[in-house]
Each structure stands twice: as C-alpha cells, then as structure tokens.
C-alpha cells in the first residue's frame, strides 16, 4: 500500500523521536551523571561535556541491538501486515506519549524510567487501540523481569566493589599508598569492560567486524590506555592540608575522584548504547514501514542517520534541562563520596552494557538506583534516605500507566486525523 501522507508521517516520526530523545537527555542522563556530581568528583558543567561526548558515542556505536527489541519486540508486527498504518500511528503515539511524560517528570525533578515510559506506551496503544492479542506478552514479561533483576544485580555488584575498596584500601595502614596502587587497576577494569562489551556486541553497522580474539585484545589495549591516563592524572594530585585536616581520607577520595571521571564516561557510554533505543526504535519502525509502502520487515537495518538523530536529541536534553534531575538525585538517596560513587557507577554501567549486549532494554534509572542502594545498604540501612527511595519507587509505578494512557489518547487522535 502507498501512504497518502508519507512525508508528513516521516516528519512527525523525526520530530517526536527528537522530543523523546530530548526527554531522555533531560531525565535519564541526569541519573547517569548524578553519582559523579553528587560525590563532587566532577561539576555539573563537566558532567554535561562528558555526557555529550560519550552518550553520543554510545548511541552511535553501540545502540543497534536494543533498538531492534524496542521497534519489533513489544508487539507482534506480523499481525499488522494488512494494517501497517495502525502500527505507524501507534509508534508515533508512543513517542509523543513517552516524551510528554518525561517532560512532566523532568519539570518536577522525578527520576523516572524512559524505558518504562516507551514500553508502557507501546503496550498501551497495542492492547487498547488494536487488540490485546497484538501484544507479545511473553517478551513484555521477559523485559518486566529485567526491571527487577537489573537493580538487584547492580546492587550486588556495587556492594562487592564497595567491600573490595574497603578491604584493599581503606582498612590498610596506609590508604593513600594502596589507593595509588589499586585505583589504576579499577580504571583498567572500567576501560576493559566497556570496550569489550561494545566490541563483542558487534560494530558491523559502522564497518567494523572483529573476531572474539581481536575484541579481547583491543579491549585490553583500551583498558591499559585508560589506566595509563589515570596514573598520570593521579600523580598530578597535590596535597591539600585544609581538606585533610577536616577529613582524614581526603587525598584518597581525590584519587577516587580521578576514577569517577572514567566511570562517568563509562556510564554515559552505557546509557547512550541502551537508552537511545527508546527514542529511535519506534522512529526506525515508522520510516521502514512508510518508505517500503507498508511492508513490515523486522530485520530492516537501522539507518545511521536515525542513531545520530537520537544521539543529538539526548545531548540537547541534557544541556538544556538535565541539571534539574542531576541536582536532586545526586545526593538524595545516600551520601556519596567518590569511592562510594565509583562502586555504584561501575556496577550500574557494567549491568547496562551487559543488557545492551543481550538486547534487553533495562531501565538505567532502576539499575543506578539499585547500585546506589547497594552501596548505601553496605554501610548500614541508616545511611539510606528511605523517604526519597519510597517517592522514587512511587514515580516508577506511575510511569507505566501514564505512558499507556497518553499513548492510547494520541493513537486515537492520529487515527482520526490520518484515517483508519
């Protein structure tokens, strides 16, 4: 079939996709940067620069696998063979609905899940707008399970990293000496994990097709390079007698501050690789269906310009509105120092890139909050602000139905405008 309003539909997909990506930048990227800013390892301005570079790189280089899940995994696209225009309206409605909810949440400083927003929206339009049988409930259940598994996994990894830091560095006769010895190893770990998962996932869409052995070799190189840069930065740390008078571990925490710069880069890359799918997955579906005259091809390649569109939108959202959520999330769950923030951020980044590698669109928000909670619980439950945690959990519960209700509303409006 030919789409009567093909150019308008593609234009709407681009505009709504940019709006959704902007919302991700304004809300979710703030979560990715919050531990670094909250632990005072970096300033908000530095966080924005780091995120702008690494969010875009993650979206562009490693954003392909999750995108396939979001654009074709939520609903059974095969059932739309005779009515592809309904799938187009549904994807457009989902983008607009999720974008609107993220705008509201960012305005109030609520750290909500963009993944929840878009998945709730897609399931909502499919179940009410076309029919319950159009939803792939098995896949939705698999993804919903990841929302529980990812914070628990990230929290467990964060606790393990926190205890390793205590054992190797803080509980020694000379913490500064051991920090200088072991922090470069942690930096190596950050560079190695992020590089390895990205390379193993495959970069064929940018013309790189490496074997497993080559991937491990390159990841080791990136890890070593990160460690060398880290060592050079640590050596430049000067004594600060005033800080050290008020806090005995001040110099050790400054060494961890160097590490936090690397984990901030890793988290931004991991977030860009996973969450760009929330914005560009539906865009890719609309463009593919409209340009092919209604043919639904779930194996259609992700055009690079759509990944770039998502990356640009995310960076714009962070730069214009991200400071609100960064400021509120950075220090509200538990008090973070660079050493604690490192444990939370590396655990969250590791969990997110693992999920990206398997094509599972987990919630970065859930993962990071789980990791920060893990660090807080490791210090004792009194170290966690349970009131803040309760309000964050409530905003998560509201997100799914909010996305679904808005999506159903926009779906019927679009169907009335363009014809059923």
Q: Measured in whole angstroms, how far is the alpha carbon of residue 212 from the centre of its chain?
A: 25
The torsion angles phi and psi of 203, rounded to 5 degrees, stand at: -120, 35
The pLDDT assigned to 98 comes to 92
Three-state DSSP class for residue 94? helix
Which of 182, 180, 194 is closest to 265 using CA atoms?
A: 194
Residues ≥6 apart with Cβ < 8 Å to 275: 24, 28, 114, 115, 314, 364
Q: What is the largest CA-CA distance in the chain?
A: 75
DSSP 8-state code for residue 239? P
Calculate the alpha carbon distances from 234 to 18, 80, 124, 170, 390 in Å: 39, 57, 51, 17, 38
CB atoms near residue 412 (< 10 Å): 16
The pLDDT assigned to 97 comes to 95
The pLDDT assigned to 19 comes to 95
What distance, in Å, lies between the first and last C-alpha atoms of the chain?
14
Rounded (5°) CA angle 290-287-355: 140
Is residue 317 a contact partner of residue 341, using CB atoms and an 8 Å limit?
no
The pLDDT assigned to 22 comes to 93
Calculate the alpha carbon distances from 255 to 48, 153, 195, 349 in Å: 22, 27, 23, 20
Is residue 347 a contact partner of residue 157, using CB atoms and an 8 Å limit?
yes
Q: Rounded CA gap, 49 and 277, in Å? A: 22
Rounded (5°) CA angle 323-305-362: 55
pTM: 0.79
Which of 287, 199, 242 is closest to 13 using CA atoms?
A: 287
The pLDDT assigned to 69 comes to 56
Q: Measured in whole angstroms, how far is the alpha carbon of residue 23 from the centre of its chain?
A: 12
Residues of the chain with pLDDT under 70: 1-3, 31, 62-74, 76-77, 143, 197-198, 200-209, 239-248, 274, 294, 296-302, 328-334, 356-357, 359-361, 420
């Amino acid at each position: 079939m030919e789409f009567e309003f093909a150019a308008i539909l593609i234009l709407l997909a681009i505009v709504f996709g940019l709006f959704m990506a902007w919302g991700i930048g304004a809300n979710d990227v703030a979560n990715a940067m919050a531990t670094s800013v909250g632990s005072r390892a970096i300033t908000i301005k530095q966080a924005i620069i780091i995120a702008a570079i690494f969010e875009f790189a993650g979206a562009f280089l490693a954003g392909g696998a999750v995108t396939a899940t979001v654009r074709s995994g939520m609903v059974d696209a095969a059932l739309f063979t005779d009515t592809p225009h309904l799938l187009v309206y549904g994807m457009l409605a989902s983008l607009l609905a999720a974008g609107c909810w993220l705008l509201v949440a960012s305005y109030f400083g609520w750290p909500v899940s963009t993944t929840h927003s878009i998945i709730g929206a897609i399931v909502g339009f499919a179940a009410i707008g076309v029919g319950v049988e159009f939803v792939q409930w098995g896949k939705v259940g698999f993804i919903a399970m990841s929302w529980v598994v990812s914070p628990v996994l990230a929290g467990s990894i964060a606790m393990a990293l926190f205890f390793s830091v205590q054992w190797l560095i803080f509980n020694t006769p000379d913490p500064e000496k051991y920090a200088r010895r072991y922090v470069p190893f942690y930096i190596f770990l950050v560079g190695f994990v992020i590089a390895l998962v990205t390379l193993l996932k495959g970069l064929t869409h940018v013309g790189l097709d490496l074997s497993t052995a080559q991937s491990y070799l390159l990841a080791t190189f990136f890890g070593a390079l990160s460690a060398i840069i880290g060592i050079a930065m640590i050596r430049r740390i000067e004594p600060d007698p005033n800080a050290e008078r008020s806090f005995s571990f001040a110099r050790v925490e400054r060494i961890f501050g160097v590490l936090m710069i690397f984990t901030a880069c890793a988290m931004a890359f991991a977030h860009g690789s996973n969450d760009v799918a929330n914005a560009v997955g539906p865009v890719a579906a609309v463009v593919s269906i409209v340009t092919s005259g209604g043919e639904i091809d779930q194996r259609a390649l992700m055009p690079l310009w759509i990944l770039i569109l998502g990356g640009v939108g995310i960076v714009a959202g962070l730069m214009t509105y991200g400071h609100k959520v960064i400021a509120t999330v950075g220090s509200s769950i538990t008090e973070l120092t660079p050493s604690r923030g490192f444990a939370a951020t590396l655990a969250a980044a590791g969990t997110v890139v693992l999920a990206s590698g398997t094509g599972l669109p987990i919630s970065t928000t859930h993962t990071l909050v789980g990791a920060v909670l893990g660090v807080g619980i490791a210090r004792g439950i009194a170290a966690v602000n349970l009131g803040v945690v309760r309000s964050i959990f409530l905003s998560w519960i509201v997100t799914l139905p909010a996305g679904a209700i808005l999506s159903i509303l926009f779906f019927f409006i679009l169907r009335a405008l363009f014809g059923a």
